[in-house]
């Protein structure tokens, strides 16, 4: 396959359970970039919580953040922003209060946990999330959100719900990046573990699920790699992008 861009989710994918990048993953990413393959972090995180990772990897390309709500260029410039309306934020906040569900909300300036500012309209909003350990309540709220028909509803773990503006997802963000780079999604290898990775895994030329991915993500993927704690990103880069002769050398600690 002609892979020209590697799109990586962060939590549960690139990062281990201690939110660190293994040396095996670093080495594989470095080798891919040296071959001219772009590596793009495509994450539910905001810029503040992902840019240091990108800098540490010395990535030369774009960042797709907040599940595609924001796209940043190689020099850190904002390329695109897709906010959630104030009315929608209030509706989701009211829904959390109605059902006693823990929540968080991400504005362009701040992460709000279990509280909201007095004036919602004073902020521009990117994403709303619920943390619900009760399976039945989580399913109920997800169904209400989906039936509303105004949101992109996913998750980044088995116990949360993430809500973006309708049609905003990682695949859409990557399509924008591909257009800017003069390539297509057929040239993309996308890797992830949760529902917010589904769109890019389905629409990439090569969609890969982590060994620790949710079962529905594994079913949608073309390949399944090792777990995030077992350098699954590196395994797939060596398998699909780098020559196999470098696999043993690069994965001596795997």
Q: Active-site positions? A: 9
Query: What does each C-alpha distance from 13 to 25, 110, 133, 139, 200 come to in angstroms?
Result: 10, 25, 22, 24, 14
In 3D space, the residue among 224, 223, 235 whose CA is nearest the CA of residue 24 turns out to be: 235
Can you tell me the distance from the alpha carbon of 140 to that of 161, in angstroms, rounded to the nearest whole number? Answer: 11
Strands 78-81 and 70-72: what pairing?
Answer: antiparallel
Question: In this structure, are residues 7 and 191 in contact, taking their beta carbons and an 8 Å threshold?
Answer: yes
B/e letters for 14-28, b = 16+ CB within 10 Å, e = fewer, are bbbeeeebbebbbbb
């Amino acid at each position: 396959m002609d892979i020209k861009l590697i799109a990586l989710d962060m939590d549960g994918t690139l990062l281990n359970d201690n939110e660190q990048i293994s040396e095996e993953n670093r080495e594989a990413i470095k080798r891919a970039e040296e071959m001219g393959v772009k590596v793009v972090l495509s994450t539910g995180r905001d810029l503040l919580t992902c840019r240091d990772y990108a800098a540490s990897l010395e990535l030369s390309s774009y960042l797709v953040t907040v599940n595609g709500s924001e796209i940043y260029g190689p020099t850190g410039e904002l390329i695109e922003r897709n906010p959630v309306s104030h009315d929608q934020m209030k509706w989701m906040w009211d829904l959390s209060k109605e059902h006693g569900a823990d929540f968080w909300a991400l504005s362009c300036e701040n992460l709000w946990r279990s509280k909201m500012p007095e004036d919602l309209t004073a902020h521009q909003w990117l994403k709303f999330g619920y943390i619900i350990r009760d399976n039945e309540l989580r399913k109920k709220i997800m169904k209400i959100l989906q039936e509303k028909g105004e949101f992109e509803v996913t998750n980044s773990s088995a116990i949360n719900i993430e809500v973006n503006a309708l049609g905003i997802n990682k695949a859409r963000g990557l399509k924008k990046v591909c257009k800017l780079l003069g390539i297509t999604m057929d040239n993309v290898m996308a890797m992830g573990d949760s529902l917010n990775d589904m769109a890019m895994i389905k629409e990439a030329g090569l969609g890969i699920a982590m060994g620790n991915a949710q079962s529905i993500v594994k079913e949608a993927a073309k390949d399944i790699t090792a777990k995030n704690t077992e350098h699954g990103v590196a395994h797939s880069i060596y398998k699909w992008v780098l020559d196999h002769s470098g696999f043993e050398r690069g994965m001596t600690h795997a």
